[in-house]
Amino acid sequence: MKKVTVFLLLISINLISLKLVSAQSKAEVLIRNATVLTAAKGTLENADILIKDGKIARIGKNLKASSNARTIDATGKFVTPGIIDCHSHTMMDAVNEFSYSVTSMTRIRDVLNPTDIAIYRALAGGVTAANLLHGSANAIGGQNSTVKFKYGKPIEDFVIPDAPPGIKFALGENPKRTNFNPTPGATPRYPRTRMGVMEVIRDAFVRAREYKKSWDDFRAKKTTVQPRRDLELEPLVEVLEGKRLVHAHGYRSDEHLNLMLLADEFGFKVATLQHALEAYKIAPEIAKRGTGASIFADSWSYKLEAYDSIPYNGYLLWKAGVVVSINSDSNERMRRLNVDAAKMMKYGGVPEEEALKMITLNAAKQLGIDRRTGSIEVGKDADIVIWNAHPFSVYSHAEMTMIEGEVYFDRQQDISKRAELARERETLEKMDINRPPGSGGTPPAIPKEKRQSHLDDADSDKDGGNRR
């Protein structure tokens, strides 16, 4: 026993020293003379940002940094907080567990893959964090993972440690599965209607409530035999206890409203309505509950339940006092969320800073990570993007993206590295082991034409793809 304690002590000392080292190794950074869109306290002209230990240490003019600090001259450039995508399936080796209508036992954390090239491409679009969600094939899907895109780091570094846990729900066409070909010979899964979807959710919460009671009774010593731990119901108990955020995919306003009513009944709050393209029809009901809306800027008509979607949705929700974020649900669209936010100014007239919040601070609020990220404020993580032009201009692109003061994307570096990569390829291809067999051999892979990028996540399952 003693040995174990000593051992643990040693490990923790090691960990502490490691942490200290890594914290120290994060160099001081001074971004000079930028136009800073803070997403909290307006826009600052000719401002400096001093970053220490990965945090924003000071914001102001003519700031001084220590002699070994890296100074970035951002004259003529624009700085925003890192973009946060509140609905994504990037870096997931699996998206949907299709089998059951309730798959709350699954955890996105288990299938995160830090090598997905889509992460880098998102960084190049200024995205630093994302809400990674289970697909929408199930009325109640799996547990989410809130991450920062620390591309190149081990997977445990991606996960934001103090982000509250969440879970995916889904309403409408996707959990009904009526748009999808059933497996030949398979019994169709319940539910097949919106009626059934609501009953699946109700049933799950009834079971969760009973499950919670069985544990409460046991803990109060009313029963003697410890109940079985049920991984399906545990996260739902957390929802009932307000400890887990519900991110509910849905389109039609009626079903989102029905879910909120069910939540009222069971005593929890829905954290975000995802997609929510008709949410403008029930803006007051959403605002009253403090539920957030995470929407596409202006997608519509790609499925029947998205036919009443309007680009004014964001504006109407904002006007009603709803916290609105704009998400991508797509590795492709993720790269241009800044333009999506700009559209909010066009459709209805959301003010500039409020539009910027929809891809930064508001998403952080919806994910419960706004204490550490989402805006440029002293004390927050230095998750920062430097743009060559105003980020709401279509002609802008990200020059540099940093997370906690470390640079994860640098356009100049990316461009200068291309020749190096070409040389590396040349060397590698010349190696014996990489030469094609002299004769015979298996056929090469069929070249791909387009890379999949879907608007909606119900039919996505990367397991069948070409990923290794």
**Residue list 187-246, contact with other proteins (CB under 8 A):** 187-189, 225-226, 228-232
Nearer to other proteins, 13 or 394 (CB): 394
Q: Are 267 and 240 in contact (CB under 8 A)?
A: yes
Which tokens belong to 150?
Answer: 């620390």
Minimal distance, residue 302 CB to other proteins, in Å: 4
Q: Which residues pair with 324 in a beta bridge?
A: 293
Rounded to the nearest angstrom, the gap between the alpha carbon of residue 334 and the centroid of all alpha carbons in its chain is 10
Cα separation, 31 vs 54, whole angstroms:
13
Q: In the 8-state DSSP scheme, what is residue 39?
A: S
Among 27, 58, 300, 353, binds other proteins (CB under 8 A): 300
What is d(CA 192, CA 179) in angstroms, rounded to the nearest whole number? 10
Query: What minimum distance in Å lies between the beta carbon of 384 and other proteins?
Result: 19
Is 155 near other proteins (CB under 8 A)? yes
Least CB distance from residue 259 to other proteins, whole Å?
A: 19
CA 247/CA 273 separation, integer angstroms: 6
Query: Whole-angstrom Cα distance, residue 383 to residue 219?
Result: 43
Residue among 370 and 391 whose Cβ is closer to other proteins: 391
- Of residues 99 through 128, those in contact with other proteins by CB under 8 A are 99-100, 103, 105-108, 110-115, 117-118, 120-121, 124
Binding segment for other proteins (CB under 8 A), chosen from 78-86, 256-264, 341-349, 357-365, is 341-349
Is 448 a binder of other proteins (CB under 8 A)? yes
> Is residue 351 near other proteins by the rule CB under 8 A?
no
Of positions 21, 62, 221, 464, contacts other proteins by CB under 8 A: 464
Contact (CB, 8 A) for 218 and 227:
yes
Measured between alpha carbons, how far is 120 from 154 in angstroms, rounded to an integer? 14
Which lies closer to other proteins via its Cβ, residue 269 or residue 346? Answer: 346
Q: Which residues pair with 51 in a beta bridge?
A: 29, 56
* By CB under 8 A, residue 463 contacts other proteins: yes
Closer to other proteins by Cβ: residue 266 or 312: 312
Using CA atoms in the order 52, 55, 56, 62, what is the torsion angle rounded to 10 degrees? 10
What is the maximum span of the chain, computed from C-alpha positions, in angstroms?
A: 75
In whole angstroms, how close is the CB of 300 to other proteins at the nearest point?
6
Shortest distance (Å) from residue 115 CB to other proteins: 7
31-39, 240-248, 336-344, 377-385 -> range binding other proteins (CB under 8 A): 336-344
For residues 271-290, which are near other proteins according to CB under 8 A?
280-281, 283-284
Least CB distance to other proteins at residue 6 (A) = 16
Binding other proteins by CB under 8 A: which of 252, 333, 365, 372? 333
> Smallest distance, Å, CB 56 to other proteins?
26
Q: Among 136, 272, 274, 331, indicate the residue that binds other proteins (CB under 8 A).
A: 331
Position among 22, 46, 183, 193 found at the interface with other proteins (CB under 8 A): 183
CA angle 330, 334, 337 (to 5 degrees): 130
Q: Write phi, then psi, for 69 (nearest 5 degrees).
A: -75, 150
* CA–centroid distance for 249 within its chain: 14
Is residue 336 at the binding interface for other proteins, with CB under 8 A as the rule?
yes
- Pattern 25-64, other proteins, x by CB under 8 A: ----------------------------------------
User: 74 to 103, contacts with other proteins by CB under 8 A?
Assistant: 93-100, 103
Q: What is the footprint of other proteins within residues 420-439 (CB under 8 A)?
A: 421, 424-425, 428-429, 431, 433-437
E strand intervals along 26-165 = 29-37, 43-52, 55-60, 70-73, 78-81, 83-88, 127-132, 140-143, 145-148
Could you give the CA distance from residue 331 to residue 134 in angstroms, rounded to a whole number? 15
- Using an 8 Å Cβ cutoff, are 285 and 251 in contact? no
| Extended beta strands in 317-356, E state | 324-326
Cα(370)–Cα(380) distance, integer angstroms: 9
Write the interaction track for other proteins spanning residues 367-406; mark x where CB under 8 A is met and - where it is not.
----------------------x--xxxxxx---------
Q: Judged by CB under 8 A, does residue 451 bind other proteins? A: yes
Q: How far is the CB of 16 from other proteins (least distance, A)?
A: 15
